[in-house]
């Protein structure tokens, strides 16, 4: 029996530029009760070490997500028919207190998990993924597929500060939220602080697929290995928009040239179908550095790609 699910506002009835901006023109709902997948904003960039602005990401991704339609053109997945999806708004944030900010984000995502829904979040900087993992991986360590120019496994910044957008995954491993042997990082590149920058991550067993290896092997080979590593157990998928080349996604705080095309990023995410995704996010979209909304559009579209592979679980 077909279940009743929320549907986007029909663009043939109300044009895309009209009305309230919600993720993918879905209804705005007060809680995740009754949802299968909750689209949520995390407008917080208190972990940013260089160019701030990702706090404005959710609002612009909502705006650009008005361009999404109902059916994925390759997989034919119709996410809004398979799953009950809506926009639950933004989590509560505190822009002037980092530790309180992390607590509020964790509480917000935990309320989605408690309602039985899968969170698909729009950041925010990459430190927001740490409290999200605290909420979704509370009971057991999970795996992770991580698209990024950066490993984000550094230890401290600025004299012992342990919480920045360059450290979330070291903290998550230390806290037992992630099983490092089930983590794959894809697209890593750029200059390093130290010769053995990723030594700690590699020692934990994280599989780092640098951009140069990706270029040699291609999308399908790399994603086949990534799927093998994470296996059938629960995973989180985190998509840092700076994995895409700044020529296609300039609106981000820590751009690195030599990145993925949006087409490569889409092809990779499509190959996540069938994995047990228990949470996902698109982070580091910083509208103050964007040009004509192109980075927010890339972020919103990657959210739609992620939504489709998550919704496939409900077939």
Q: Which is nearer to Mn ion, 55 or 150 (CB)?
A: 150
According to the binding rule CB under 5 A, does residue 45 interact with Mn ion?
no
According to the binding rule CB under 5 A, does residue 170 interact with Mn ion?
no
Q: How many CB atoms lie within 10 A of CB 17?
A: 9
According to the binding rule CB under 5 A, does residue 245 interact with Mn ion?
no
| Nearest approach, Cβ of residue 203 and Mn ion (Å) | 20
Contact criterion met (CB below 8 Å) for 36 and 314:
yes
Q: Which is nearer to Mn ion, 89 or 166 (CB)?
A: 166
- In terms of phi and psi (left: phi > 0; alpha: psi -120 to 50; beta: otherwise), the region of 70 is alpha
# residues contacting Mn ion (CB under 5 A): 7
According to the binding rule CB under 5 A, does residue 25 interact with Mn ion?
no
According to the binding rule CB under 5 A, does residue 146 interact with Mn ion?
no
Cα(45)–Cα(243) distance, integer angstroms: 18
| Nearest approach, Cβ of residue 150 and Mn ion (Å) | 4
Q: Which stretch binds Mn ion (CB under 5 A): 21-29, 189-197, 216-224, 240-248?
A: 240-248
Contacts of 110 (CB under 8 A, 6+ apart): 134, 135, 138
How does DSSP assign 14-69, residue by residue? S-TTSS---GGGPPB-SS-TT-SEEEEEE---TT-SS---GGGHHHHHHHHGGG--
Q: Which stretch binds Mn ion (CB under 5 A): 21-29, 137-145, 229-237, 239-247?
A: 239-247
Q: Which is nearer to Mn ion, 7 or 161 (CB)?
A: 161
Phi and psi at 90, nearest 5°, equal -100, 145
Dig out the tokens for 219 from the structure: 């999308």
| Nearest approach, Cβ of residue 255 and Mn ion (Å) | 9
Q: Which is nearer to Mn ion, 143 or 253 (CB)?
A: 253
Cα(227)–Cα(233) distance, integer angstroms: 11
SS3 state at 171 = helix
Cα(220)–Cα(167) distance, integer angstroms: 29
**Applying CB under 5 A, which of residues 36, 152, 264, 290 lies at the interface with Mn ion?**
152
According to the binding rule CB under 5 A, does residue 278 interact with Mn ion?
no
Q: Which stretch binds Mn ion (CB under 5 A): 4-12, 152-160, 184-192, 266-274?
A: 152-160
Q: Which stretch binds Mn ion (CB under 5 A): 21-29, 68-76, 141-149, 211-219?
A: 141-149
According to the binding rule CB under 5 A, does residue 150 interact with Mn ion?
yes
Q: Which is nearer to Mn ion, 240 or 264 (CB)?
A: 240
SS3 state at 287 = helix
According to the binding rule CB under 5 A, does residue 179 interact with Mn ion?
no
**Applying CB under 5 A, which of residues 55, 72, 104, 126 lies at the interface with Mn ion?**
126
**How far from chain centre, in Å, is Cα 14?**
29
According to the binding rule CB under 5 A, does residue 148 interact with Mn ion?
yes
Residue ranges that bind Mn ion, judged by CB under 5 A: 126, 148-150, 152, 240, 242
């Amino acid at each position: 029996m077909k279940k009743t699910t929320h549907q986007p506002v029909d663009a043939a009835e109300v044009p895309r530029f009209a009305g309230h901006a919600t993720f993918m023109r879905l209804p705005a709902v007060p809680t995740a009760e009754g949802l299968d997948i909750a689209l949520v904003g995390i407008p917080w960039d208190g972990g940013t070490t260089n160019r701030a602005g990702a706090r404005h990401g959710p609002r612009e991704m909502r705006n650009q997500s008005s361009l999404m339609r109902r059916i994925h053109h390759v997989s034919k997945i119709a996410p809004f028919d398979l799953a009950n999806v809506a926009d639950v708004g933004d989590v509560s944030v505190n822009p002037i207190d980092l530790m309180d900010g992390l607590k509020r984000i964790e509480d917000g995502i935990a309320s989605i998990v408690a309602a039985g829904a899968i969170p698909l979040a729009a950041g925010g900087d990459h430190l927001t993924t740490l409290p999200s993992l605290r909420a979704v991986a509370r009971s057991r360590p999970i795996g992770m597929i991580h698209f990024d120019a950066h490993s984000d496994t550094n230890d401290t910044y600025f004299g012992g500060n342990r919480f920045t957008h360059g450290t979330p995954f070291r903290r998550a491993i230390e806290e037992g939220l992630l099983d490092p042997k089930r983590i794959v990082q894809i697209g890593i590149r750029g200059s390093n602080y130290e010769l053995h920058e990723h030594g700690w991550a590699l020692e934990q067993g994280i599989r780092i697929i640098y951009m140069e290896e990706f270029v040699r092997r291609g999308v399908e080979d790399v994603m086949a290995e990534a799927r093998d590593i994470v296996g059938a157990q629960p995973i989180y998928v985190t998509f840092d928009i700076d994995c895409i080349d700044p020529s296609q996604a300039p609106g981000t705080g820590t751009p690195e040239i030599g990145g993925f095309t949006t087409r490569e990023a889409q092809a990779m995410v499509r190959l996540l179908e069938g994995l047990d995704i228990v949470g996902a996010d698109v982070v580091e979209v910083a509208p103050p550095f964007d040009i004509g909304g192109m980075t927010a559009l890339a972020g919103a579209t990657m959210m739609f790609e992620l939504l489709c592979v998550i919704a496939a679980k409900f077939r």
